[in-house]
Structures are given as C-alpha cells and as structure tokens.
C-alpha cells in the first residue's frame, strides 16, 4: 500500500511542560513540511500522541487513546499514527507489537528527528526511535519552533534527570542529564523576545542543576544573564530541586524584579523518614531553611509544591508531618498525588508495607481540604491589592479576560469585548478571592483607552 503524504496533523499532549514543548517542536517540524494543524481527528491524516508515564493512570490513558485512534484507522487505513513521549520511550519495540498498526514510535530525546522518521514511513519503514543521543546530536529546531500562544515562550535548558528518587520513572524515560550550552539558551531567549514574547519559562526536570557544558557556570549565572536581557518582563523556571538551590540562586530573586515572585519547589513529604525512603537526599530542615531564605530575598513570593501521599511505609504519623509542613509553609498551591508504583523503580523493592488504597484516598482528601482552607485565607488577604496582570486568554464568560499575576495566580476581570488584549500587561485590582482564582477589575480610570500600548507585544486594534 502506498501512503499519501499527510495534509493535516493533530498532536495530543499529556503530562508536563516538557511534553508541551516537545509537542510544539513536533508541530513545527510538520508545518515546515507544509502539513497543517487541525484540532479535528476526523480531518487529520497524521495523529501524534505525546504520552506521559509519571503515574500509572496516565500511562493507561495513553493506550486507551491509542485504541480509540486505531478505530479511526480501521475506517481510514491511510491515517498515520505516531506514538511519542515517555510511554513511547518506555515501551519501544513493544509498542509496535502491542499496537500493530502504529506507524512509528518516538522517545522524548528523539523529537527532533520527526521529519526523517516520517519520510522513512512513507517509503515503508516503521521506525522506533528511542534512547538518548548526546546533547550535541539533539536537534532543538530553535529558530523554527511553531510557538503556541503569544506571550509565554518555553525554553529547554536541561533535559533528563540524574536523581534517584525511588518513586520516579522519569530518569528511565528522559535519560541522564544533558545540559544545553549557555549561548544557545541566550540566543533562543533573545529570539523569542524579538518576536514579542513577554514571559520566558526555563524548563528542565531539575532546572536548577543546569551547568554550562563549557564553563561550568551554574543556574544562578544563567538566571542573572537571562533576567538581564532587554525586553523580558517575566522570567520563570520549572522544576527546581530543593537540595540544588544555592544561596546565589536565592539572591537572584532580590536582584532581578523580572524574575517572578513564584517558585515551584516539590517537597514530596513532610516526614524525614519518608523522604529518606524516597531517596530525596534532603531532610525537612533544609527545605524550611530554604523557604525562609527565599522569603527574605523576595517577600511575598508565592510557593507551590508537589506531594505524594501513601508512599510505601508511610504511617499516619508521617502523613500528619506532611499536613504540619503545609500549615507551616502555607503554599499558594499544592499538587498532590497518590503514590503510583512504576515499573523499574527502586520503591518496588523497598520491602515496606503498602498503604491501603482507602487510607491513601482519605489522606489525599484530608490534605486537599486543609490546603483549600490555607489557600482561601491567603487569597482573601490579596483583596484590594493591585497586580500587573499578563493577559493570557479571553475569559469563559463573555466580556471577560483571564490573566496571571506575577505570582502566577489566575485572575479574571471584565474587558471591552471589541478588543483583545491578549499578551498585554494590565493593572488589575483584586475584588474577590476564591481558593483557585481571583476576580478583579481594571484600575485605569479611562480603561481601556489609557492602556500603555508601547508595552503590548501585539498590535492592538481598537
């Protein structure tokens, strides 16, 4: 059977920011081939599924989505189906056996090879591209990324992970750390700023473990260099590892006002005993001390974290320590998950009693309700404050806009429907607060006429 060159593609993305960026890189390569995006699977003749394997549920989802797309392929045999992301890496050849009509498999470190892989498919070969080439061989497609959105540009600085957290599958799906050279990173950020992006998000599994391969300059140096670039309004980075966060990095928050007063700092547990079993390499004392120094460097900094409940051997007492940590730190938001056993991870061999599912469920709910109370109080204290809001989208209800405060809180406010301000910075006063969002109103007296248009990244048509 000859395969027609595809005309329309669809990329479905699951998982973290790295996957989001990988999907943008996949899309850009296809668009360079003249293939256009569509959000309608019926119209697509090439579908890429970018999968996540961090928890079992996400990995299962990948196979059930593949199953659904196979049904489409039964009706339209010309449809090409590519399996990408962390589950694809994990499964490799197995994926082709399990799903015989898959057309190709691409692991996260091989995303830059999509065009060649597609060409091979068109001459009959079904390529499985997994594994971890050296950084020098990775194609970042920097200048050609089809950046989605108008305001936030994501930039990979380090790929993979060398940590040995016992619960985590990522080191096996994204491979060992590979650092991108400083100059590469700076020129990609410069490029995005020149195209009008206002916010830059530096990405890495352990972003603050980055080092320049040539000079060994560390992440504090990189933050300083990036934050000093002209035209950068907001700089964020994810995900930081507590033990690798040096005082020089903390100091950058005081030094550069365009580094957002927001930090995601996964702690995973409030119990030192559990942290040890997780292989995190720090105790809660280090974490509390770091939080204190961050708050000194940038008063009002909003912090978020990741928590796993029900890790093997976690007792009620351990869990109570996690609740105590939440009460003490008072995070602006918390991402909490039930422990999910992952293939090949060391936690499977810990010889610790499993936490019964009912207990893990109850712990998760207890944690969520405590955090909801904390968040409600924190957000209520913001009523009356004015924030410079980066407008990210039209709001759900007509006549509203949605944006983010510098501390990364979602805020909704009314706007003039005749005009889109997406990508602009607007001063907004908080009027009401909910646990997960704020409601505000614009504070400019003659708004929208008096908006400082010179600060907008997009031509504003009024």
Residue with the two structure tokens 């140096």:
221
Tell me which H or E stretch contains 285: helix 284-297
Q: Contact letters (x/-) for ligand 5AD, 342-371, by CB under 6 A?
A: x-----------------------------
CA–CA gap between residue 396 and residue 24 (Å, rounded): 25
Q: Does 340 bind ligand 5AD (CB under 6 A)?
A: yes
Rounded alpha-carbon distances, angstroms, from residue 139 to 76, 84, 203, 399: 32, 16, 16, 42
Asked if 174 interacts with ligand 5AD (CB under 6 A), we say no
Length of the chain: 462
Which residues, 6+ apart, have CB-to-CB distance to 380 below 8 Å?
A: 433
167 forms part of the interface with ligand 5AD (CB under 6 A): yes
To ligand 5AD, the closest distance from the beta carbon of 439 in angstroms equals 29
Q: How far apart are CA 113 and CA 137, in angstroms?
A: 10
CB of 235 to ligand 5AD, least distance (A): 22
Please identify, using beta-carbon distances, which residue of 268 and 333 lies nearer to ligand 5AD: 268
Report if residue 303 touches ligand 5AD, rule: CB under 6 A.
Answer: no
Q: What's the closest the beta carbon of residue 423 comes to ligand 5AD, in angstroms?
A: 29
Q: Are 214 and 181 in contact (CB under 8 A)?
A: yes
18-26, 79-87, 338-346, 433-441 -> range binding ligand 5AD (CB under 6 A): 338-346
Site string for ligand 5AD, 241-280 (x = CB under 6 A): -------------------------x-x------------
Mark the segment that binds ligand 5AD (CB under 6 A) among 154-162, 325-333, 336-344, 370-378. Answer: 336-344
DSSP 51-84: E--SSHHHHHHHHHHHHHHHHHHHH-TT-EEEEE
**What Cα–Cα distance (Å) separates residue 280 from each residue in 163, 290, 320?**
8, 15, 19
Distance CA 302, CA 431 (A): 19
Which residue among 87, 117, 168, 290 contacts ligand 5AD (CB under 6 A)? 168
Phi/psi-derived region of residue 11, left when phi > 0, alpha when psi is between -120 and 50, beta in every other case: beta
By CB atoms closer than 10 A (0-12, 13-18, 19+), residue 313 is: middle
Among 308, 332, 390, 433, contact with ligand 5AD (rule: CB under 6 A): 308
| Minimum separation from the CB atom of position 210 to ligand 5AD (A) | 18
Comparison of 195 and 335: residue with beta carbon closer to ligand 5AD: 335
Q: Give the residue nearest to ligand 5AD (CB).
A: 306
User: Considering beta carbons, is residue 47 or 326 the nearer one to ligand 5AD?
Assistant: 326
Nearer to ligand 5AD, 55 or 151 (CB): 55
Sheet holding 302-309, edge to edge: 262-264, 302-309, 333-338
- CB of 306 or CB of 359, closer to ligand 5AD: 306
Q: Choose between 280 and 298: whose C-beta lies nearer to ligand 5AD.
A: 280
Nearer to ligand 5AD, 311 or 421 (CB): 311
Whether cis (ω within 30° of 0) applies to the bond prior to 448 is yes
Distances (CA, A) of 303 to 207, 334, 396: 16, 9, 26
Q: Which of 178, 196, 185 is nearest to 134 (CA)?
A: 178
Positions 19 through 78 that interact with ligand 5AD (CB under 6 A): 54-55
- Token pair 């248009």 in the structure block, residue: 453
Q: Considering only 37-45, 171-179, 335-343, 395-403, which stretch makes contact with ligand 5AD by CB under 6 A?
A: 335-343
- C-beta closer to ligand 5AD: residue 54 or 96: 54
Q: Which residues bind ligand 5AD (CB under 6 A)?
A: 54-55, 167-168, 266, 268, 306, 308, 337, 339-340, 342
């Amino acid at each position: 059977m000859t395969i027609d060159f595809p005309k329309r593609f669809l990329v479905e993305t699951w998982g973290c920011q790295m996957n989001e960026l990988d999907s943008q890189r996949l899309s850009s390569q296809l668009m360079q081939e003249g293939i256009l995006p569509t959000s309608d699977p019926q119209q697509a003749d090439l579908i890429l599924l970018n999968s996540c394997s961090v928890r079992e549920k996400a990995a299962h989802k990948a196979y059930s989505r593949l199953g659904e797309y196979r049904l489409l392929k039964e009706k339209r045999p010309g449809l090409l189906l590519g399996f990408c992301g962390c589950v694809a890496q994990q499964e490799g050849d197995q994926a082709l056996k399990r799903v015989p009509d898959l057309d190709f498999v691409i692991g996260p470190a091989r995303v830059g090879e999509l065009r060649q892989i597609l060409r091979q498919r068109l001459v009959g070969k079904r390529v499985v591209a997994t594994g971890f080439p050296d950084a020098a061989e990775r194609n970042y497609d920097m200048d050609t990324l089809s950046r989605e959105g108008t305001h936030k540009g994501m930039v990979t600085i380090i790929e993979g992970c060398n940590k040995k957290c016992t619960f985590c599958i990522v080191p096996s799906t994204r491979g060992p750390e590979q650092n991108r050279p400083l100059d590469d990173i700076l020129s990609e950020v410069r490029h995005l700023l020149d195209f009008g992006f206002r916010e830059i998000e530096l990405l890495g599994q352990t972003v603050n473990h980055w080092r320049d391969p040539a000079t060994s300059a560390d992440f504090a140096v990189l933050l300083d260099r990036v934050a000093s670039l002209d035209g950068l309004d907001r700089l964020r980075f994810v995900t930081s590892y507590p033990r690798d966060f040096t005082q020089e990095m903390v100091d950058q928050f005081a030094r550069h006002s365009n580094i957002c007063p927001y930090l995601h700092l996964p702690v995973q547990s409030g119990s030192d005993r559990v942290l040890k079993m997780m292989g995190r390499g720090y105790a809660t004392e280090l974490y509390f001390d770091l939080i204190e120094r961050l708050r000194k460097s940038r008063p009002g900094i909003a912090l978020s974290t990741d928590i796993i409940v029900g890790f093997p051997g976690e007792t009620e007492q351990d869990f109570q320590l996690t609740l105590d940590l939440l009460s003490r730190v008072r995070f602006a938001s918390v991402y909490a998950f039930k422990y999910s056993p992952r293939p090949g991870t060391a936690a499977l061999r810990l010889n610790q009693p499993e936490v019964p599912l009912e207990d893990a469920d109850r712990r998760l709910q207890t944690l969520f309700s405590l955090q909801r109370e904390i968040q409600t109080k924190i957000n209520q204290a913001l009523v009356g404050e004015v924030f410079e809001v980066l407008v990210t989208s039209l709001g759900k209800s007509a006549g509203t806009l949605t944006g983010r405060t510098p501390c990364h809180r979602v805020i909704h406010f009314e706007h003039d429907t005749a005009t889109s301000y997406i990508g602009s910075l607007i001063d907004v006063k908080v009027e009401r607060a909910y646990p997960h969002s704020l409601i505000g109103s614009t504070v400019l007296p003659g708004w929208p006429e008096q908006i400082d248009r010179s600060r907008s990244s997009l031509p504003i048509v009024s």
